[in-house]
Amino acid sequence: MNWPVIAAEAALSVLVVALLAGDLVLPSRHRPRLWQLALGGLAALAAVLWWQRPWVGDMLTATVQTGSFMAGGASMFVLDPFAYYFKWLFVLTAALVVLLTRNDAKLLSTQVGEFYLLLYTALLGMLVLASVNDLLLLFIGLELLTFSAYVMTAYVKTDSKAVEAGMKYLILGSVSSGCLIYGVGLLYGAAGSTNFEVLRAVFSSGELPPLAQIGLLLILAGLGFKIAAVPFHLWAPDVYEGAPTPVVALLSVGSKMAGVVALLRVLYGIFLPAQAVWGGLLAVVSAATLFYGNLAAIPQTNIKRLLGYSSIGHAGYVLMGLSTATRFGAQTVGFYLLAYLFSNLAIFFVITLVSKAGGGDSLDEYNGLSRRSPLLAAAMFIGLSSLAGVPPLAGFAGKWFVLLATVQQGRMWLVAIGAVNVAISLYYYFMVVRRVYVLPARPASSGAGGAPATSTPIKVDGLNRLILFFLLGGILVIGTVQGPFLSVLSRVINF
């Protein structure tokens, strides 16, 4: 037994209980400040993660000695650099989501305490997922994350759209979970174990029996749902539109990253020799996902829905990197996710602030934003440009690397599709930029129900300013000084 390896997860479990207690004890007038408590908990978790450094084992050799947690004679849980790196990213995402909730008035008006509780359990799921070395644990981690997300999506019970979104997410999610567990079962049937090491040994020849092929396919379907890949993308736009913005941020960044982590673990950790089976499949799915996400984003009129489609498009690039089945390809996916995290979260901060000031998430709210708040306009411009892949921003380097990995692998048709989609995505991102910078603000009460004028300045308080500067600075630094990030990733993603 190697307890320090699961220290972070154990600590988070304790924190869940502590937060629950805190929520009960805290007088209701202090409720709006509960986010500080939630953030403090995450800081404590970060401290535990930092303390865990000596127990981080070597990649893939960390089976028996350091860095793994044994259960029933086989290691189910590993703490390798890959897991460790992504745990940090998950904690960072969760912290930013907590900070996002500050700006969400609708969310703060409800029982916000349980919301942080669910966020913690979702984070627990993601942390577990980063470390899985067993298909069953993978399922558990994923379900922990997804179940929390179901509830969080429908958290604002008075909002019928949110409830509808939650329902949709639940139904489609359950189907995909069913696929996943069925696939796990089939793989168990084919290999006689759910442990990654055993599976890797059994399938090391690269030949997959039909049973295992179907199992892998089903697992891919289940994980494809998580990252919103075509044809399992249907939930994304509705859920993005209906769910509270912090939840959308968590889904689009955290949940997607968790799905990719699981994909990397399964595809690269187990089935790398069998890449002939899944490489081409992922490439086709990637092409479809790219086209669907980017084309369907064009006519959108709601910023969150637009980002829902855009997140589908980005899943396409992630899949493109994964489809290379090369180590460099996997590293570029890691880089892409990092860029995506910073860019998307910056945009979500702007969305919460604009929605707080104006009321809605309609794209019309963004008309003339540059006159209401130059900072928010600049953040929106930089965030969207980064997503579109404009230098010197993070998204540019991410796209360049993913495309480079695909070129090296030799799938030129996929590169062409990826490149074309850069131009398509630029169009709808810049349609938003056009509203922000070019179009005049909507005059007072022209909209339905006498909405207030969208020309009043938006005040951005100090903390939000700081976070925005952090995120925008991150986008710029990742986009210009790519080397250090790539070299970290080359040590971390080293299958």
Partner 1 sequence: MMLTASSSSLLSLVLLAPAAASLLLCLVPSRQAAWVRRIAVLATGLSLAGALAIVWRYDRSLAGYQFEVVVPWISSLGISLHLGVDGIGAVLVLLHALCSFCGVLISYSIKDRVKEYYIFYLILITGVFGVFTSLDLFFFYFFYEMAVIPMYPLVGIWGSDVKEHGRVLYSKEYAAMKLTIYLTAGAVLALIGLLWLYAGSGLQTSDVVVLEHHFAFSPLPANVQHMIFPLLVLGFGVIAPMWPFHSWSPIGHAAAPSAVSMLHAGVLMKLGSYAIIRLAVSLMPEGARLWLPWLAGLCVMNIIYGGLVAMAQKDLKLIIGYSSSSHMGYVLLGIATLTPLGLNGAVLLMFAHGLMTALAFAIVGHVYDQTHTRYLPELGGLAKPLPFIATCGVMAAMASSGLPGFANFVAELLVILGAWDRYRLPAVLAVLGVVITSVYMLRLVRGTFFGPTNDSLPHAHDAATPFARLPYVILTVALLVVGCWPRPLIALIDVSTRPIINRAIQPAPALPQHPAVPEGAQ
Residues that bind partner 1 (CB under 8 A): 370, 374, 381, 385, 389-392, 396, 400, 403-404, 407-408, 412, 415-416, 419-420, 422-423, 426-427, 430-431, 433-434, 437-439, 482-483, 486-487, 490
Q: How far apart are CB 495 and partner 1 at their closest, in Å?
A: 17
Could you give the 3-state DSSP secondary structure of residue 436?
helix
Distance of alpha carbon 495 from alpha carbon 223, whole angstroms:
19
Residue 124, C-beta contacts closer than 8 angstroms, at least 6 positions apart = 9, 12, 13, 16, 144
Q: Which is nearer to partner 1, 344 or 482 (CB)?
A: 482
- Identify the CA nearest to 495 among candidates 334, 293, 320, 298: 334
Q: How far apart are CB 483 and partner 1 at their closest, in Å?
A: 4
Judge residue 222's burial from the number of C-beta atoms within 10 Å of its C-beta, 0-12 exposed, 13-18 middle, 19 or more buried.
buried
Q: Which is nearer to partner 1, 60 or 404 (CB)?
A: 404
Q: How far apart are CB 385 and partner 1 at their closest, in Å?
A: 7
- Identify the CA nearest to 372 among candidates 340, 350, 401, 342: 350
Q: How far apart are CB 9 and partner 1 at their closest, in Å?
A: 33
Residue 386, C-beta contacts closer than 8 angstroms, at least 6 positions apart = 339, 342, 343, 346, 393, 394, 395, 396, 475, 479
Phi, psi of 457 (to 5 degrees): -65, 150
Q: How far is CA 404 from CA 39, 216, 284, in A?
A: 39, 27, 18
Q: How far apart are CB 137 and partner 1 at their closest, in Å?
A: 33
Judge residue 111's burial from the number of C-beta atoms within 10 Å of its C-beta, 0-12 exposed, 13-18 middle, 19 or more buried.
middle
Q: Which is nearer to partner 1, 188 or 437 (CB)?
A: 437
Q: Which is nearer to partner 1, 215 or 418 (CB)?
A: 418
Distance of alpha carbon 112 from alpha carbon 37, whole angstroms:
12
Q: How far apart are CB 467 and partner 1 at their closest, in Å?
A: 17
The residue length of the chain stands at 495
Distance of alpha carbon 51 from alpha carbon 66, whole angstroms:
15
Could you give the 3-state DSSP secondary structure of residue 458?
coil
Q: How far apart are CB 441 and partner 1 at their closest, in Å?
A: 14
Token readout for 333 is 């996916």
Q: How far apart are CB 455 and partner 1 at their closest, in Å?
A: 15
Q: Which is nearer to partner 1, 302 or 480 (CB)?
A: 480
Q: How far apart are CB 312 and partner 1 at their closest, in Å?
A: 19
Sign of CA dihedral 185, 212, 320, 171: negative
Could you give the 3-state DSSP secondary structure of residue 373?
coil
Q: What is the dihedral of CA 313, 314, 317, 323, to 10 degrees?
A: -90
Give the Cβ contact number of residue 14 at 10 Å. Answer: 14
Q: Which is nearer to partner 1, 182 or 470 (CB)?
A: 470
Q: Which is nearer to partner 1, 118 or 492 (CB)?
A: 492
Q: Which is nearer to partner 1, 15 or 426 (CB)?
A: 426
Q: How far apart are CB 349 and partner 1 at their closest, in Å?
A: 18
Q: Which is nearer to partner 1, 94 or 489 (CB)?
A: 489
CB distance 19 to 41 below 8 Å: yes
Q: Which is nearer to partner 1, 344 or 421 (CB)?
A: 421
Helix (H) or strand (E) holding 68: strand 68-71
